[in-house]
Structure 1
Amino acid sequence: MIKVHFIHGFLGFPSDWDSFKEDMNEYNYKFHSISDYMSPHSNNENSKFVLWAMKFNSSVFKEPIKNKNILIGYSLGGRLALHALIQSNKWDAAIIVSANPGLSHEAEKQARIANDIAWANRFLNEKWENVMESWNSQGVFSNMKNILTRDEKQFNKNEVASMLTDFSLGKQENLREKIKSLHIPILWLAGDKDSKFANVTMEMKELINTIEIKIIADAGHRIPWEKPKEFKEVCFNFINKNLIK
């Protein structure tokens, strides 16, 4: 039996993946909430990612393994998924969607940290609707910016701010070399209208030839919800090819 684990992105919910349940009757599936595995007690910035991955893996693999386990992570969830893969050899495959393996230069990291702190302060102090309008107007989301609605009542603002600062891309280790050491099938996806992440995806293929990549036509950052049919098809093809023997 195959068990598929989904990790949502920033401002996401496990329910964001509900539309995929119908098509996954042949698999087991579990939708995880990022906040369930947050560890606020460490002062070491990079270890926030490591602690998250350790807690996540401990939860997933607390029982004897009876399934083949595949991890699907989107955006921030994709970055956290990479940490989970690196922390455990119990994963059988992974699909990484619109995610960055890490920044290479210190100046880039510091700029990203400052940007995420600014966003965190906006979420804490400004009117929710105004901040969401600005958030969804960012270039990576411009293709279908209102595809997932988010109501202020669904969130704890302090948790939103913590997620931005604790899991800032600027605080993340550059994982490229560690990803090279993974010996499992990995599919890396990006949308062709999301040029930054499409470039990252093609760069990962050049760096690690064994990674499969797919650039989804006419899609931006939010591939699973912008192009659900194409997303399901490419995921199922990957799973069937690599995990069904």
Structure 2
Amino acid sequence: MPTVATVAKPTLVFIHGFLGSPDDWLEVVAALDDRYACLLLTIPERNQQGQALRDWAALIAACEHQWTALLPERFTLIGYSLGGRIAQALSQIWLGRLEALILQGAHPGLGSDLERSQRRRQDRQWSNCFRSEPLETALQRWYRQSVFARLSEQQRADLIQARTRALLDSERMADLLLAASLAGQPDYWAALAQLPVPLLYINGAQDLKFCALAERLAKHRPSLERHQLPDTGHNCHHQTPKPYAALLAQFLTQVPYD
């Protein structure tokens, strides 16, 4: 279980994506932990009573409940995909303790009822896939989505092997996918535009969907720091961990620490 750092270093708090684990950040952290205290969180799959999370609000409440006591007084939040969406929510709850926010491939929110309806239907289909198919089959399908198209065959195989080895519970993943659906997430565009701490948005240069989202976010927030890692897709911290860590280190030199 992660513990609060006791050394006098700025703290970086990492939140993984859907199907991921804290281990996803290890190569990034290895390049940073001489200068920063790194705290790796695990997204909860159940509430305090051990029940499936009902919706987005229940997911954020579970994260806040499980993580608040682990955190130091001040920290930087770093989140990938679902982890980034969670970080957006928690940045509002923990605003007085936040030094900076770093998002990787994280969606600030859908803008229309039609988009939400389409995403809800899509996530229900994926949830049914995880409930009805063997885990490895579901993972093969998941990592063949267009958003992961830039993974090499070896990178895709490594991710599937890691998820299979982690003995993920398919039912829990199906439940979490529905609770965490982008269809039920609030709109964080305005909150990010007004966030009073430094904000960095990272995506792979080949991840065209999130390139467009980053460009749109920059119009809402002209001070946004943006960076596209070349020759990478959605999962760029996995594809190029050392350049990713170097990018974080460069950005963090601009963060004022109390």
Same fold (TM > 0.5): yes
Structure 1 residues 180-199: aligned runs within 5 Å: 180-199=193-212
Which residue pairs with 1:72 in the alignment?
A: 78
Which residue pairs with 1:12 in the alignment?
A: 20
Query: 1:153 Cα shift?
Result: 5.6
Q: What CA deviation, in whole Å up to 9, does each residue of 1:53-88 have, x standing for no partner?
A: 532552344x6x2xx411110010000011010112
Query: 1:210 Cα shift?
Result: 1.7
CA distance in 1, matches of 2:209, 2:29: 30
Which residue pairs with 2:221 in the alignment?
A: 208
CA distance in 2, matches of 1:38, 1:198: 34
Local SS of the residue matching 2:157 = coil
Query: 1:219 Cα shift?
Result: 0.8
Moved over 3 A (4+): 36-43
Which of the pair has the greater relative contact order for Cα pairs under 8 Å at 6+ separation?
Answer: 2
Where does the alignment leave 5 or more consecutive residues of structure 2 unmatched? Answer: 1-8
Q: Look up the equivalent residue of 2:133 and give its one-letter code.
A: E
Which residue pairs with 1:163 in the alignment?
A: 176
Local SS of the residue matching 1:101 = coil
Local SS of the residue matching 1:107 = helix
Local SS of the residue matching 2:110 = coil
Match for 1:104 among 83, 101, 111? 111
Structure 1 residues 121-160: aligned runs within 5 Å: 121-144=128-151, 145-148=156-159, 149=161, 150-151=163-164, 154-160=167-173
Over the matched positions of the two proteins, sequence identity in percent amounts to: 25
Q: Look up the equivalent residue of 2:92 and give its one-letter code.
A: I
Q: Look up the equivalent residue of 1:211 and give its one-letter code.
A: L
Q: Look up the equivalent residue of 2:79 and give its one-letter code.
A: G
Query: 1:216 Cα shift?
Result: 1.4
Query: 1:110 Cα shift?
Result: 1.1
Which residue pairs with 1:83 in the alignment?
A: 89
> CA 1:151–1:106 in structure 2 vs 1: closer, same or farther (change >3 Å)?
same
CA distance in 1, matches of 2:169, 2:251: 36
Which residue pairs with 1:59 in the alignment?
A: 69
The number of aligned residues is 240
Where does the alignment leave 5 or more consecutive residues of structure 1 unmatched? Answer: none
Q: Look up the equivalent residue of 2:255 and give its one-letter code.
A: N
Match for 2:244 among 206, 216, 231? 231
TM-score by length of 2: 0.86
Query: 1:129 Cα shift?
Result: 2.1
Local SS of the residue matching 1:154 = coil
Is the 1:5–1:29 contact (alpha carbons within 8 Å) kept by the matching residues of 2?
A: yes
CA distance in 2, matches of 1:209, 1:56: 34
CA distance in 2, matches of 1:70, 1:33: 16
Local SS of the residue matching 1:184 = coil
Local SS of the residue matching 1:31 = strand
For the aligned residue pairs, the C-alpha RMSD in angstroms reads: 2.1
CA distance in 2, matches of 1:137, 1:213: 27
